[in-house]
């Protein structure tokens, strides 16, 4: 029970890695504030997490003995983020951990010179600026209480390039840079900031993940073919599970990582070791 007594805020919690991280934190004794946009976004060519999916995540957390508050919040909007953070503080009196997981994988599937201004702006607004908005709001509270852990969910796309995903790659590289800079800014206040870089995460039906499916769609290849190619590229010859990423999140959220800040923890089955 490494997170007993801690309040954990997780964005993009309706499904996928967000759900897995939420359930893992609940199992370790945390109380949860679960955020998701709970709506589709213009320009994103696939359905995003829904209100019912977010409530299901909360129910899974409560089944493990946790208190779980759900909040509809759009990380693109400063007021929405500010109000969500304020609600979390009012409910629990403190915020100990934030997991910046909200993100989109598309619009993608184009060469860099074919990306439109709107597509580029949308990707960076959600995947990079969204995390910064959350950090800006929780950073004040964590600085005042002289403790806290911020975990940014980046990607192997923050470490290497991928063809036809320039916006996503740029956003995730930027998120790693933000992680390192924020870690230095907040270290004097005893607030830690780290990043997790998942590799190719399996679309686990229980987590309702769909990232690999959407990447395949963006590349216009059959999902089964795409999954087979990704699995073959993994040195450990299997896809990463959502629970693998959630385990890394729990470690960085807990006091087990008390002297870890500004670090990038790669959970990719050795993919970036090539």
Question: Which residue matches tokens 């439109």?
Answer: 116
Q: What is the spatial distance between Cα 206 and Cα 38, in angstroms, rounded to a whole number?
A: 18
- Residues 21 and 9: beta-carbon distance below 8 Å: no
Half-sphere exposure of 79 (CA within 13 A, CB side): 0
Question: Which residues share a beta bridge with 34?
Answer: 10, 70
What are the two backbone dihedrals, phi and then psi, of residue 215, each rounded to the nearest 5 degrees?
A: -65, -40
Give the closest residue to 28 by CA, choosing from 71, 65, 69, 58: 65
H helix runs in 115-206, sequence order: 117-124, 130-145, 166-186
Q: Are 127 and 172 in contact (CB under 8 A)?
A: yes
CA angle 234, 207, 196 (to 5 degrees): 50
Collapsing DSSP to helix, strand or coil, 203 comes out as coil
Task: Report the C-alpha gap between 76 and 59 in whole angstroms.
Answer: 26
One of 46, 92, 162, 168 is an active-site residue; which one?
A: 168
Q: What is the dihedral sign for C-alpha 131, 169, 187, 267? A: positive
Q: Which residue has the tokens 């801690």?
A: 6
Active site residue 168: yes
**Backbone phi, then psi, for 92, in 5-degree steps?**
-115, -10
Cα-to-chain-centroid distance, residue 19:
10
Q: Among all residues, which ones are annotated catalytic?
A: 168
């Amino acid at each position: 029970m490494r997170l007993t007594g801690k309040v954990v805020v997780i964005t993009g919690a309706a499904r996928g890695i967000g759900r897995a991280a939420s359930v893992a934190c609940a199992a370790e004794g945390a109380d949860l504030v679960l955020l998701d946009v709970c709506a589709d976004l213009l320009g994103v060519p696939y359905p995003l997490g829904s209100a019912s999916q977010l409530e299901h995540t909360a129910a899974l957390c409560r089944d493990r003995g946790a208190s779980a508050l759900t909040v509809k919040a759009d990380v693109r909007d400063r007021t929405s983020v500010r109000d969500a953070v304020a609600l979390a503080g009012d409910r629990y009196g403190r915020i100990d951990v934030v997991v910046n997981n909200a993100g989109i994988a598309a619009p993608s599937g184009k060469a860099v010179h074919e990306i439109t201004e709107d597509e580029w702006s949308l990707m960076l607004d959600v995947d990079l600026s969204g995390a910064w908005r959350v950090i800006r709001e929780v950073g004040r509270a964590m600085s005042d209480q002289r403790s806290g852990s911020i975990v940014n969910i980046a990607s192997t796309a923050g470490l290497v390039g991928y063809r036809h995903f320039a916006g996503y790659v740029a956003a995730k590289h930027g998120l790693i840079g933000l992680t390192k800079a924020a870690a230095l800014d907040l270290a004097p206040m005893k607030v830690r900031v780290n990043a997790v870089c998942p590799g190719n995460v399996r679309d686990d039906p229980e987590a309702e993940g769909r990232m690999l499916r959407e990447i395949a769609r963006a590349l216009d290849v059959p999902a089964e073919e795409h999954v087979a190619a990704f699995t073959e590229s993994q040195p450990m010859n299997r896809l990463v599970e959502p629970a693998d990423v959630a385990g890394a999140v729990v470690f960085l959220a807990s006091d087990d990582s008390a002297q870890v800040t500004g670090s990038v923890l790669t959970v990719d089955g050795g993919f970036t070791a090539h």
